[in-house]
Copies of this chain bind each other. A is one copy, B any other.
Amino acid sequence: MPRAGLSTQAVVQAAVDVIDEHGIDALTLAAVATRCGVAAPSLYKHVGGLAELKTQVGVRVLNELADRFAAAAMGRSGRDAITALMHAYRAYVTAHPARYAAMPVDPLHHPELAAAGIRQLEIIQAALRPWQLDAAAQIHTIRRLRVIAHGFASLESAGGFGLPTDLDETYQQLIDAFFDSLPAHP
């Protein structure tokens, strides 16, 4: 009975792999266990159960996206930074479409997910700083940004656009519309 040498992170990684390959609905403990070369009950030594595993996958995905955000925002500011963030968002989703369905939409309401969600938020806030928005305007602005990015990503990742042609153009128009909704760049 050789030991598989698992860890919580290894199980989460296997779960992400299962999602990438077979979609979010195929994420079962049985599938993860098979991929880990282990019997299903053994996973409970590393993870609290399916619900907790899904939460951990959510944390992973949120942090990966935050990493992309950080990389995209680095060395840019203003309009340039926001544009880079929007493209980083879409690039992550198109690279891992199935994974997007595992990204929680309300991370701030969940203690385990909040930290990762706040990381993203802070990067966006920093990118918006040049516009010097007051508190209320900032909330509305981030919401608009999020609606556009999430709305587009969720439709694209789910195959919601009839023809895949010219999606770049549609996304660019949405980004342009967002900038038009902002006061002039200082």
Interface residues of A (CB under 8 A from B): 105-106, 108-109, 136, 139-140, 143-144, 146-152, 154-155, 158-163, 166, 169-170, 173-174, 176-178, 180-181
Contact = CB atoms under 8 A, between A and B. Distances in A.
7 contacts: A140-B170, A143-B170, A144-B170, A147-B170, A147-B174, A150-B155, A151-B152
Nearest to A159: B106
Say how many copies of this protein the assembly contains: 2
Nearest to A161: B143
Contacts of A163: 139
Contacts of A144: 170, 173-174, 177
A90 to B, nearest CB: 12
Contacts of A176: 181
A177 B145 CA distance: 11
Contacts of A108: 162
A166 B139 contact: yes
A143 to B, nearest CB: 5
